[in-house]
């Protein structure tokens, strides 16, 4: 790839690809996000995510140039395991949440469009690099990120190195089993955190129990439409004393506490960041989660691990894409 001479105002394009929407932004070297574009992933129909991605990149790049910025690279977070060196997703569905990206050389396509150095990685890996460069993980040599949104993703940085693993599956903390007798998970395993606590799973479990005849205030919260029950309704109903919702939140929190213990005992990081769309509902449960984790984790490392629960913000994932560019430049230059 061609590296350009960079002068004047310099910024990086960060992009987050989700199953629902694609966000892109121009990120300054201090992490400030200057311009953002967000488009539904399949705005042009089924199978059109690449077209949307290229359009988002094109829009952000055009805005950057119009404002006099020199863009030094593009970093993209993709929803599933990624082969970073090949610049594409490394797994088919269900781990790949935008199935049409399987086998598509995403980095190469963006480079062909923009002539800018482009790097891709798993979205939560990019998020962890963003937290380390600009966010809660500044100054931390080791951190774990659990992104609990529609699904559960994870990432881990140790000794200032992102742990990608041999096949790009490193850090999939949401799919480490926490209950060997637990329910099937969408990943194909059994008893993972993701079998209890992704937003989609929690809502699906609540809907199923109501359909099976359990009585719950969730039906009123969803105005009588069982399909409209969401995970945030389940948390709100649990806090208000609804027994069905409280039971689901209880087992979700227990699974999350066991996952925290796996992270603390297995990796002993300085910091654990819990983020994603479900994080807002978990903020009031912070002390309860730490208390539950104490039943599973060594007390000394648990006590010294900073555990932060922070609601997700699209700007964090866009920053993550930008942080990926700096990280990959340094890694490929041989310093990592």
Q: Which of 99, 105, 182, 189 is close enough to bind Zn ion by CB under 5 A?
A: 189
Question: Residue 310 is encoded by which pair of tokens?
Answer: 């922070």
If the CB atoms of residues 49 and 192 are measured against Zn ion, the closer one turns out to be 192
Give the number of residues in contact with Zn ion, rule: CB under 5 A. Answer: 6
In this structure, the number of other CB atoms found within 10 A of the CB of residue 7 comes to: 7
Q: Shortest approach of Zn ion to residue 184 CB, angstroms?
A: 9
Question: Of 12-20, 21-29, 159-167, 169-177, which segment contacts Zn ion by CB under 5 A?
Answer: 169-177
User: Residue 306: which of 126, 135, 121, 127 has the closest Cα?
Assistant: 135
If the CB atoms of residues 132 and 175 are measured against Zn ion, the closer one turns out to be 175
If the CB atoms of residues 47 and 266 are measured against Zn ion, the closer one turns out to be 266
Q: Which of 135, 149, 154, 194 is close enough to bind Zn ion by CB under 5 A?
A: 194
> Is 157 a residue that touches Zn ion (CB under 5 A)?
no
Residues 6+ apart with CB under 8 A from 161: 336
If the CB atoms of residues 195 and 279 are measured against Zn ion, the closer one turns out to be 195
Residues 6+ apart with CB under 8 A from 332: none
> Is 206 a residue that touches Zn ion (CB under 5 A)?
no
Strand order from edge to edge, sheet including 271-275: 161-162, 152-158, 143-148, 271-275, 306-309
Q: Which of 11, 15, 136, 192 is close enough to bind Zn ion by CB under 5 A?
A: 192
Q: Shortest approach of Zn ion to residue 71 CB, angstroms?
A: 37
Residues 6+ apart with CB under 8 A from 66: none
> Is 91 a residue that touches Zn ion (CB under 5 A)?
no
Residues in the chain: 336
Question: Of 15-23, 27-35, 106-114, 167-175, which segment contacts Zn ion by CB under 5 A?
Answer: 167-175
Strand order from edge to edge, sheet including 118-122: 33-40, 21-28, 10-17, 70-78, 118-122
Cα–Cα dist 187/192, whole Å:
9
> Is 187 a residue that touches Zn ion (CB under 5 A)?
yes
Maximal C-alpha separation, the chain: 66
Question: Of 62-70, 161-169, 172-180, 284-292, which segment contacts Zn ion by CB under 5 A?
Answer: 172-180
Q: Which of 97, 132, 164, 175 is close enough to bind Zn ion by CB under 5 A?
A: 175
């Amino acid at each position: 790839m061609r590296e350009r001479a960079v002068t004047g105002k310099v910024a990086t394009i960060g992009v987050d690809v989700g199953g629902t929407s694609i966000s892109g932004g121009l990120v300054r070297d201090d992490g400030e996000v200057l311009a953002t574009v967000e488009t539904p992933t399949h705005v042009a129909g089924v199978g059109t995510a690449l077209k949307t991605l290229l359009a988002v990149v094109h829009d952000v790049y055009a805005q950057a140039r119009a404002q006099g910025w020199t863009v030094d690279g593009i970093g993209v977070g993709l929803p599933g395991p990624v082969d970073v060196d090949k610049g594409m997703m490394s797994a088919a569905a269900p781990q790949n949440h935008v199935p049409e990206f399987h086998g598509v050389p995403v980095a190469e396509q963006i480079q062909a469009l923009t002539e800018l150095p482009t790097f891709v990685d798993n979205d939560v890996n990019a998020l962890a690099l963003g937290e380390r460069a600009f966010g809660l993980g500044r100054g931390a040599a080791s951190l774990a990120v659990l992104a609990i949104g529609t699904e559960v993703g994870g990432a881990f940085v140790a000794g200032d190195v992102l742990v990608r693993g041999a096949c790009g599956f490193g850090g999939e903390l949401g799919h480490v089993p926490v209950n060997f007798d637990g329910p099937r998970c969408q990943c194909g395993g059994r008893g993972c955190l993701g079998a209890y606590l992704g937003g989609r799973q929690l809502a699906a479990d609540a809907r199923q129990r109501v359909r099976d005849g359990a009585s719950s205030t969730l039906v009123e919260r969803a105005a009588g439409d069982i399909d409209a029950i969401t995970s945030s309704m389940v948390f709100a109903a649990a806090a208000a004393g609804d027994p069905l919702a409280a039971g689901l939140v209880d087992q979700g929190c227990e699974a999350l506490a066991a996952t925290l213990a796996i992270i603390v005992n297995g990796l002993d990081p300085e910091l654990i960041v819990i983020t994603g769309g479900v994080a807002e509902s978990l903020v009031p449960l912070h002390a309860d989660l730490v208390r539950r984790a104490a039943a599973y984790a060594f007390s000394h490392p648990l006590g010294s691990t900073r555990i932060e629960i922070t609601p997700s913000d699209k700007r964090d994932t866009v920053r993550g894409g930008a942080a990926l560019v700096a990280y990959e430049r340094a890694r490929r230059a041989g310093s990592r």
